[in-house]
Amino acid sequence: MQKAIGAFSRKYDPEASYFTVDGGGRTAFFVLDMQASHQMPAIAEIFFHIGAEVTLMPCMTPEDLQAGIAAIDL
């Protein structure tokens, strides 16, 4: 686990990393800037190799939210 976290951190340089327990299991939260959805398999792969469960949750910045709202055609 420690090697996977180190390799991930060196490769993706997360803006923040948090470690806790969730649902009775070891849990890590990484905040990073993903430019496009096609990056998801590569980002998660190192953790799949060690049998970890991976959940990706894309989020928006305030600027992304404004652009998204502006694109709504009502």
Q: What is the pTM assigned to this prediction? A: 0.81
Both tokens assigned to 17: 């990393």
Closest alpha carbon to 25 in 56, 3, 55, 58: 55
What pLDDT does residue 33 have? 92
Condensed to tens digits (0 to 9), the pLDDT of residues 5-44 reads 999 999 999 999 999 999 999 999 999 999 889 999 999 9
Q: How many domains does the chain fold into?
A: 1
Range of the domain at 20: 2-70
| Sole residue written with tokens 């990393």 | 17
Task: Say if residue 1 is exposed, middle or buried (CB neighbours under 10 Å; 0-12, 13-18, 19+).
Answer: exposed
